[in-house]
C-alpha cells in the first residue's frame, strides 16, 4: 500500500524532522519505506532518511506493508504535509562552521590570510584577541585501527554482544552528558545529534553485518562509519556533509569502548596551556575545561567557527585556520600566540618570551585596573549619558558583555544565527534568541541588525549568484528586500521579542531611502499579521547603519525617516576609501583616521544631531581610546564595541569629563 505527496516540511527532512519522522514510523508495526526518485529507504532509520536528502516541495511516496499500514501512511503523510514540522528546531545542533581560513566576521579581530611568518613563526586567522604564551598541549587523538584478524565462526556471536554492549555504553555516556544542567543549548544540540546517530540502525546494522562477515568489531565499526560518512559527504547539501564528521565521532567513541581506551582527554590540560589541535570536535568542545586553557591554536576553523565564538566569549586568545602548518606545532614545547594578528611562534627565544610575557602581564594589569569602570555610567562634558554597549553575535557572548559592564547591545550581528545552522533559522527560534537577549540586558537597549549577508559568506537555504564584486553586490538590506520570505520571518521574530525588553532594529548597507520605507511597510505588514493571529508583539525603533557613502550623503533625509543612526566604520572606511577591508595589500588605505572617513563621520553626526535622533557607532573604531573624544565631540551618544574594549572606553570618556 502506498501514497504520494509533496513534502511541505520546512527545509525538508533534515536532522530533526528526519528523527521525528522515524520516531513516528517506529510507532507502527508495519514495514514502512519512503521513496524518492525511485529510491526506497526504510522510514525507521534516520541516517537512511537523511541520506535520501528529501527537500521541501519534492514529491515522495510513503509505502507500508503490515497490519497497521493504513494508519502508518495516514500519520506519515500528515507529517510530511505539515510545514510546521520543520520549524521547531529548538534542539537543532548548531554545527561549527569549519571553513579553514574563513574570512573574519567583523565581530572578530580582522582575519589575516595564512602566510609565511618570520623564523619559527606561523600565521593563521586571528580569531580571538589577546596574546598568550605557555606550554603547548598538543591534542591530536591517534587514529584507531582494527585488529585486522578474521574471526572464527564460533567467535562471531560473542563479538556481536561485545559490539552491542559498546554501543549501549556510548549511548549511556551521551545520555549522561545530555542530563547535565551545565550543558549549553548549543552543546546540547550537538550531543543530541550524535546520540541520534549512535542509536540509528544504519551504523549498528552495517557494523553487525561486517562482524557476521568475520571482521573484528573495531574494524567493522571503522568500515561502517567510513561507508556512511562517505554517503553523507557525497550528498549535495552543506548540512548533510557536516554529518559525516558526526558519524566518524560516534564510530570513534564505540571503538574506544571496544578497545577499553579513553580518548586523549582535554581534562588533563595544565593551567594556562595552549591547546593545539587540528580541529576540536563538537564532542570534545562540549566537555573541554575552557577555564584552564590559556590559548587555542587550530588547523581548522575560522573567525566564525564555534571554537572562535566560544574563545572570544571566554576571553581566550585564539589563532585558527593554520591548515597543515599546525603539524609543525605537534612537538612544540612552548608556544606564543597573538590573537590580534594571527601570529604563532613555536618555542620562542628568550627575547620573544620576554616580550610576550610582558604583554600578557601588561594586559592582565590593565584588565585589573579597568574593572573599577565596569559599573560607571560615563557622561559627556554637557552631561549626556554615553552608552557604552557591546557588539555580539551569539547568546554565548552575553555573559562576557555583562561582565565587562555593557550598557546594552549596540550591534547584535544576526548572521551567525543563520550561518551556524545548516538551514534557515525558524521564526520561533529567532524570536526566542532575540527575546533572551532583550531580557538579559533590559532595561538597556539591544540593537539587532537585520541579516547582513552576501555572496562571500554561504548560508544554507539562500542561493547567492556568483558576483564579480560581492562587497558591492546582493547583500544586506538589498538581499532581504528581495527575499521577503526570509526577511519577514526575521521581522516577525523581532516584533515578538520586543515584548520582552528594549529591542531596536537596524538595517545594514542602506544606500537609498526607499530601503527604509519598504522595510517599514513590511514591518507594518508583519505586525498586522501577528495581530490577526493573536500573537503578542510590540513595536520597535527602526534605525539604519551608516556604512555606505550614499547613506552619508543622504543622512539629513534619512534622519527624518529613522529613530537612530549607527555608524559602521568598518564598511564605511572600505567604501569611502575604495579599499577592500580584507585585502592586506591595501590595509594602509583602509584607515578610519583618514580625513575622508573622519569627515564622513562628522557629516553623519551633524545630520543626526540636527534631526534630534540618536547617533551611535558600532564599527571597530568605536572602541579606540584615541578617537573616542573626537566622536563624542561630534555628538555621538552611543559607542558599541567588543566586550573586551568596554571598560577602557568608559575610562577614556570619564577622563574627558574629568578634564584630563
Summarize the annotated binding site for Mg(2+) as residue ranges: 547, 571
Of the candidates 255, 480, 526, 618, the residue annotated as catalytic is 618
Q: State the nearest-atom distance from the C-beta of 622 to ligand PEP, in Å.
A: 9
The one-character DSSP state at 379 is B
Q: Which three cell numbers stand for residue 488?
A: 519577514
Query: Which of 571, 627, 646, 652: binder of Mg ion (CB under 5 A)?
Result: 571
> Choosing among ligand PEP, Mg ion, none, which partner's interface includes residue 190 (Cβ < 5 to 8 Å by kind)?
none
Applying CB under 5 A, does 284 fall inside the site for Mg ion? no
Q: State the nearest-atom distance from the C-beta of 399 to ligand PEP, in Å.
A: 21
Output the CA torsion 589→590→595→598 (10° steps).
180
Determine the residue with CB nearest ligand PEP. 106
Instruction: Select 25 or 448, whichever has its Cβ closest to Mg ion.
Output: 448
Instruction: Select 413 or 650, whichever has its Cβ closest to ligand PEP.
Output: 413
Max CA distance (Å), the chain: 89
Count Cβ atoms within 10 A of the Cβ of residue 214 and give its class: 0-12 exposed, 13-18 middle, 19 or more buried. Answer: middle
Determine the residue with CB nearest Mg ion. 571
Instruction: Output helix, strand, coil percentages for the chain, rounded to the nearest 5.
Output: 50, 15, 35
> Choosing among ligand PEP, Mg ion, none, which partner's interface includes residue 46 (Cβ < 5 to 8 Å by kind)?
none
Q: State the nearest-atom distance from the C-beta of 575 to Mg ion, in Å.
A: 9
**Closest of 250, 276, 242, 297 to residue 420, by C-alpha:** 242
Q: Cβ distance 459 to 421 under 8 Å? A: no
Q: Cβ distance 214 to 146 under 8 Å? A: no
21 vs 85: CA distance, rounded Å? 9
> Choosing among ligand PEP, Mg ion, none, which partner's interface includes residue 196 (Cβ < 5 to 8 Å by kind)?
none
Count Cβ atoms within 10 A of the Cβ of residue 115 and give its class: 0-12 exposed, 13-18 middle, 19 or more buried. Answer: exposed
> Choosing among Mg ion, ligand PEP, none, which partner's interface includes residue 96 (Cβ < 5 to 8 Å by kind)?
none
User: What SS3 state is found at 608?
Assistant: helix
> Choosing among Mg ion, ligand PEP, none, which partner's interface includes residue 543 (Cβ < 5 to 8 Å by kind)?
none
Q: State the nearest-atom distance from the C-beta of 452 to ligand PEP, in Å.
A: 6
Instruction: Select 132 or 451, whichever has its Cβ closest to Mg ion.
Output: 451
Transcribe 46-75 into DSSP letters.
HHHHHHTTPPTT-EEEEEEESTTHHHHHHH
Binding-site annotation: residue ranges for phosphoenolpyruvate: 413, 449, 570-571, 581
Specify whether 306 is catalytic: yes
> Choosing among Mg ion, ligand PEP, none, which partner's interface includes residue 321 (Cβ < 5 to 8 Å by kind)?
none
**Sole window of 44-52, 207-215, 453-461, 570-578 interacting with Mg ion (rule: CB under 5 A):** 570-578
583 Cβ neighbours under 8 A, 6+ residues apart: 590
Q: State the nearest-atom distance from the C-beta of 476 to ligand PEP, in Å.
A: 8
Q: Which three cell numbers stand for residue 169?
A: 555504553
Rg (alpha carbons) of the chain, rounded to whole number:
27
Q: Cβ distance 79 to 34 under 8 Å? A: no
Q: Cβ distance 215 to 255 under 8 Å? A: no
Q: State the nearest-atom distance from the C-beta of 313 to ligand PEP, in Å.
A: 17
186 Cβ neighbours under 8 A, 6+ residues apart: 94, 306, 396, 420
137 vs 268: CA distance, rounded Å? 9
**Sole window of 51-59, 243-251, 369-377, 544-552 interacting with Mg ion (rule: CB under 5 A):** 544-552
The one-character DSSP state at 547 is -
Instruction: Select 65 or 583, whichever has its Cβ closest to ligand PEP.
Output: 583
- The kind and range of the H/E element at 296 are strand 293-298
Packing angle of the helix pair 69-80, 15-26 (nearest 10 deg): 160
Transcribe 457-498 into DSSP letters.
S--TT-PPPP-S-GGGSS-HHHHHHH-HHHHHHHHHHHHHHG
Task: Using the structure block, give the residue that is written with the C-alpha cell 562471531.
Answer: 156
Of the candidates 306, 343, 423, 500, the residue annotated as catalytic is 306
Q: Cβ distance 269 to 275 under 8 Å? A: yes
Residue 403: how many CB atoms within 10 A of its CB? 14
Q: State the nearest-atom distance from the C-beta of 27 to ligand PEP, in Å.
A: 46
Would you give the distance in Å from CA 279 to the centre of its chain? 16
Instruction: Select 200 or 547, whichever has its Cβ closest to Mg ion.
Output: 547
Instruction: Select 60 or 551, whichever has its Cβ closest to Mg ion.
Output: 551
- The kind and range of the H/E element at 177 are helix 156-179
Residues engaged in binding ligand PEP (CB under 6 A): 106, 411, 413, 452, 547, 568-571, 618-619
Instruction: Select 106 or 220, whichever has its Cβ closest to ligand PEP.
Output: 106
Q: Which three cell numbers stand for residue 361?
A: 602581564
Instruction: Select 199 or 407, whichever has its Cβ closest to ligand PEP.
Output: 407
Query: Which of 17, 455, 568, 635: binder of Mg ion (CB under 5 A)?
Result: 568
Binding-site annotation: residue ranges: 413, 449, 547, 570-571, 581
- The kind and range of the H/E element at 447 are strand 445-449
> Choosing among ligand PEP, Mg ion, none, which partner's interface includes residue 413 (Cβ < 5 to 8 Å by kind)?
ligand PEP
Residue 166: how many CB atoms within 10 A of its CB? 22
Specify whether 298 is catalytic: no
Instruction: Select 352 or 645, whichever has its Cβ closest to Mg ion.
Output: 645
Q: State the nearest-atom distance from the C-beta of 338 to ligand PEP, in Å.
A: 21
> Choosing among Mg ion, ligand PEP, none, which partner's interface includes residue 479 (Cβ < 5 to 8 Å by kind)?
none
Q: State the nearest-atom distance from the C-beta of 642 to Mg ion, in Å.
A: 15
> Choosing among Mg ion, ligand PEP, none, which partner's interface includes residue 187 (Cβ < 5 to 8 Å by kind)?
none
Active-site positions read 306, 618
Interface residues with Mg ion (CB under 5 A) are 547, 568, 571
Amino acid at each position: 500500500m502506498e501514497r504520494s505527496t509533496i513534502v511541505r516540511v520546512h527545509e525538508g527532512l533534515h536532522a530533526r524532522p528526519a528523527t521525528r519522522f522515524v520516531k513516528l514510523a517506529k510507532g507502527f508495526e508495519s514495514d514502512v519505506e519512503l521513496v524518492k526518485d525511485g529510491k526506497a529507504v526504510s522510514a525507521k532509520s534516520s541516517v537512511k532518511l537523511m541520506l535520501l536528502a528529501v527537500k521541501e516541495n519534492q514529491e515522495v511516496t510513503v509505502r507500508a506493508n503490515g497490519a497497521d499500514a493504513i494508519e502508518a501512511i495516514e500519520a506519515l503523510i500528515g507529517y510530511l504535509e505539515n510545514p510546521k514540522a520543520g520549524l521547531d528546531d529548538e534542539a537543532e545542533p548548531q554545527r561549527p562552521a569549519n571553513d579553514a581560513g574563513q574570512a573574519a566576521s567583523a565581530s572578530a579581530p580582522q582575519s589575516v590570510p595564512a602566510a609565511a611568518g618570520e623564523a619559527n613563526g606561523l600565521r593563521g586567522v586571528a580569531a580571538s584577541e589577546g596574546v598568550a604564551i605557555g606550554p603547548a598541549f598538543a591534542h591530536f587523538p591517534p587514529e584507531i585501527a582494527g585488529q585486522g584478524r578474521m574471526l572464527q565462526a564460533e567467535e562471531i556471536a560473542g563479538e556481536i554482544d561485545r559490539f552491542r554492549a559498546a554501543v549501549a555504553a556510548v549511548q549511556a555516556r551521551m545520555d549522561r552528558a545530555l542530563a547535565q544542567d551545565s550543558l549549553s543549548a548549543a552543546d546540547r544540540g550537538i550531543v543530541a545529534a550524535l546520540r541520534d546517530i549512535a542509536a540509528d540502525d544504519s551504523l549498528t546494522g552495517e557494523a553487525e553485518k561486517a562482524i557476521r562477515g568475520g571482521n573484528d568489531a573495531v574494524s567493522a565499526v571503522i568500515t561502517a562509519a567510513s561507508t556512511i560518512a562517505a554517503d553523507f559527504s557525497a550528498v549535495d547539501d552543506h548540512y548533510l556533509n557536516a554529518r559525516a564528521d558526526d558519524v566518524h565521532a560516534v564510530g570513534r567513541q564505540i571503538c574506544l569502548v571496544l578497545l577499553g581506551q579513553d580518548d586523549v582527554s582535554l581534562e588533563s590540560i595544565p593551567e594556562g596551556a595552549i591547546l593545539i589541535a587540528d580541529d576540536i570536535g563538537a564532542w570534545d568542545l562540549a566537555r573541554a575545561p575552557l577555564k584552564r586553557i590559556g590559548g587555542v591554536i587550530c588547523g581548522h576553523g575560522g573567525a566564525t567557527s564555534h571554537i572562535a565564538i566560544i574563545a572570544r566569549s571566554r576571553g581566550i586568545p585564539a589563532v585558527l585556520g593554520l591548515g597543515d602548518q599546525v603539524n609543525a606545532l605537534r612537538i612544540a614545547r612552548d608556544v606564543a600566540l597573538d590573537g590580534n594578528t594571527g601570529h604563532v611562534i613555536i618555542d620562542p627565544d628568550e627575547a620573544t618570551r620576554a616580550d610576550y610575557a610582558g604583554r600578557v602581564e601588561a594586559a592582565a594589569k590593565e584588565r585589573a585596573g579597568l574593572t573599577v569602570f565596569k559599573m560607571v555610567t560615563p557622561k559627556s562634558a554637557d552631561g549626556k549619558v554615553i552608552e557604552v554597549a557591546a557588539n555580539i553575535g551569539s547568546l554565548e557572548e552575553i555573559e562576557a558583555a555583562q561582565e565587562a559592564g555593557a550598557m546594552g547591545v549596540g550591534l547584535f550581528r544576526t548572521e551567525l544565527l543563520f550561518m551556524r545552522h545548516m538551514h534557515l533559522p525558524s521564526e520561533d527560534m529567532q524570536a526566542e534568541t532575540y527575546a533572551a537577549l532583550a531580557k538579559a540586558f533590559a532595561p538597556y537597549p539591544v540593537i539587532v541588525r537585520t541579516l547582513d549577508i552576501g555572496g562571500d559568506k554561504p548560508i544554507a537555504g539562500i542561493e547567492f549568484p556568483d558576483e564579480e564584486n560581492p562587497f558591492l553586490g546582493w547583500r544586506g538590506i538589498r538581499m532581504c528586500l528581495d527575499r521577503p520570505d526570509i526577511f519577514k520571518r526575521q521581522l516577525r521574530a523581532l516584533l515578538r521579542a520586543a515584548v520582552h525588553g528594549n529591542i531596536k532594529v537596524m538595517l545594514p548597507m542602506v544606500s537609498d531611502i526607499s530601503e527604509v520605507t519598504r522595510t517599514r511597510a513590511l514591518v507594518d505588514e508583519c505586525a498586522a499579521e501577528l495581530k490577526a493571529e493573536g500573537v503578542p508583539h510590540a513595536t520597535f525603533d527602526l534605525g539604519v547603519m551608516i556604512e555606505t557613502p550614499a547613506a552619508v550623503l543622504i543622512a539629513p533625509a534619512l534622519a527624518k525617516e529613522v529613530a537612530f543612526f549607527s555608524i559602521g566604520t568598518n564598511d564605511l572606511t572600505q567604501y569611502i576609501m575604495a579599499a577592500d577591508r580584507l585585502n592586506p595589500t591595501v590595509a594602509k588605505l583602509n584607515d578610519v583616521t583618514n580625513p575622508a572617513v573622519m569627515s564622513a563621520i562628522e557629516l553623519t553626526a551633524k545630520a543626526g544631531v540636527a534631526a534630534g535622533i540618536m547617533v551611535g557607532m558600532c564599527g571597530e573604531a568605536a572602541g579606540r581610546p584615541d578617537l573616542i573624544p573626537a566622536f563624542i565631540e561630534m555628538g555621538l551618544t552611543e559607542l558599541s564595541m567588543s566586550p573586551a574594549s568596554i571598560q577602557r572606553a568608559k575610562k577614556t570618556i570619564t577622563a574627558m569629563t574629568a578634564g584630563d
